[in-house]
Structure 1
């Protein structure tokens, strides 16, 4: 049967769809598993989303992806993601990265075990534990899977805890269904220097039931209002957080206004030798949700990224965030690989 580690991967499900002459009738479905709960599983199939009650599942298993990323591709994307979310305190353990940012976010406060740590694996984990003890922090390691499976096995043996799986998803630019991408501002356009672009949007379902006139403004630095929304999502912003957010050479902060009020934010970076647009902190305030604002923010950032030469976009999303996963799937994102954030026992 399936496990949480299978979320984000291609699976095939044989489900019971009826009974004829006392025999069950079966139907097979193939797609990407985007949610797994005690009561149902949800797939993103070529025909759209399919939710299957667990009681109807006869058999389900993971199947090989159409194209599995190479180890080199995973390493390159993880390096680009690290550049896009730069911890202010950094060290190296051979090829492994050690990162600290006053405890702000798991990504900026965990070791990245890719490459050769220049010592046996148990000694490398010991060194990670000592380094984080010197920082006054619990030791954490992000394990990209399946690349870092041997590291994960070592951590399992030591009793390290595991956070829910995170999907690292990618899409080719321009994005599928990105909002009015042709009107997304370029770095030389008025929007880049602070003059907004107007967009008329429908809700994500594509109906005209609800409309919002949103102004998406891209700036090189975040406003205080932008930072306040980010702080609300992330539980505060220590000094190290501001470094993480801003210390990237090619960066834009999206400000989505409705009737002059900031209700949506997003952050875009271009790293990985200019190839990768990284999307992060896509947030819409609760009263303004389900009006297409997240797509407007993503569309503006995708347009900017493409205009400066990025060819692909990536983002990181918890597999249990079914709403966000569904939105990104509609925009053309697919899971490249997954990772687990592991924490040493106290």
Structure 2
């Protein structure tokens, strides 16, 4: 917190600091037990009518009455990252997008509208990297029309928690009653430590998702569209670890997309009866070794915030969170799968 030379807490932010990362301390809510003060760190996304809106790293918007402020200051745009390969948000957003290519896309200024008949929000949402070339309300109207013409709900994929992410856009979408429907994190790590895990000669690698791989994949009844999206990307590999008995679904599967220096892991699935035995690590290690052979050195993956088991696995492999991403659904749009 900002403290003056006399030891008093001082508010050193104003409405002119909208768009900057700030740290504020406010009085606790009257009548609520607990600490006298509450601290909040995030991007100051608005300061209107005596109320501050601060968007935290996880995308949650906190409304703070100006009258409750005790101290506040502008802080560095993001804390120093302690591990993982250096990368900007924009670089990772583009790499992740190329790993889930849509069947159809169209530019709206610097925004990319993506559609794939509804298979995964990542291929059926707007990626807003820059200016749409229109006032925001007009751009969102065009987005809703474009997805409506295809019989799809309109989604905008945003991110928070790293330099260059879109806290301000998140706040504007929430003002317009767009619903933050899904949030997850993108994690990064070095590739070599993943490849150095225990060798698993039984893991088979293929360029296509065959029937055995699909039998373990969590989404049932995969369509031709889904297969095309799963097979998209600069260099795609599917890994299959067979089950103990011939003819049964694989014990574990995984997918990896190699794109320059990056290897992106996805669809790592393990037979529920065989979890916590290191099978996911075996699959990822086989994919990582192939990615190293193709010249990759860094890795990324996406994990939901409530997937405790997966987060523990990836942390143990040296991954850490880079940013949080969100899918905002337009008002009155129907749901869609992750």
TM-score by length of 2: 0.69
> Which has the larger strand fraction?
1
Larger relative contact order (Cα-Cα within 8 Å, sequence gap ≥ 6) = 1
Contact kept, 8 Å, 1:176 with 1:330, in 2: the verdict is: no
* Residues 176 and 217 of structure 1, relative CA distance in 2, 3 Å threshold: closer
Query: How many residue pairs get matched?
Result: 250
2:15 paired residue number: none
**2-structure distance, mates of 1:89, 1:176:** 34
**2-structure distance, mates of 1:172, 1:128:** 37
Question: Structure 1 unaligned runs (5+)?
Answer: 1-61, 184-196, 199-214
**2-structure distance, mates of 1:65, 1:303:** 32
- Offset of residue 72 of structure 1: 7.7
Is 1:91 the equivalent of 2:106? yes
2:302 paired residue number: 316
1:17 paired residue number: none
1:258 is paired with a residue whose SS is coil
1:221 is paired with a residue whose SS is coil
* Residues 177 and 79 of structure 1, relative CA distance in 2, 3 Å threshold: closer
1:270 paired residue number: 258
**1-structure distance, mates of 2:104, 2:327:** 19
Alignment match of 1:132 (pick from 141, 147, 164): 147
- Offset of residue 280 of structure 1: 0.5
2:158 is paired with a residue whose SS is strand
- Offset of residue 277 of structure 1: 0.3
Aligned-residue RMSD, C-alpha: 2.4
* Residues 72 and 66 of structure 1, relative CA distance in 2, 3 Å threshold: closer
Alignment match of 2:231 (pick from 223, 246, 257): 246
**2-structure distance, mates of 1:123, 1:301:** 44
Is 1:80 the equivalent of 2:95? yes
C-alpha deviations, 1:135-165, integer Å up to 9, x for none? Answer: 1111011111141112211210111111242
C-alpha deviations, 1:82-126, integer Å up to 9, x for none? Answer: 111111111111111111111111111111111221122222222
1:220 paired residue number: 207
**2-structure distance, mates of 1:72, 1:176:** 19
Alignment match of 1:66 (pick from 80, 86, 91): 80
Contact kept, 8 Å, 1:99 with 1:108, in 2: the verdict is: yes
**2-structure distance, mates of 1:95, 1:258:** 46
Alignment match of 1:327 (pick from 313, 316, 323): 313
1:173 paired residue number: 191
Is 1:279 the equivalent of 2:297? no
Contact kept, 8 Å, 1:177 with 1:331, in 2: the verdict is: no
**2-structure distance, mates of 1:159, 1:84:** 30
- Offset of residue 305 of structure 1: 0.8
**2-structure distance, mates of 1:307, 1:282:** 21
Q: Which moved more, 1:286-295 or 1:221-230?
A: 221-230
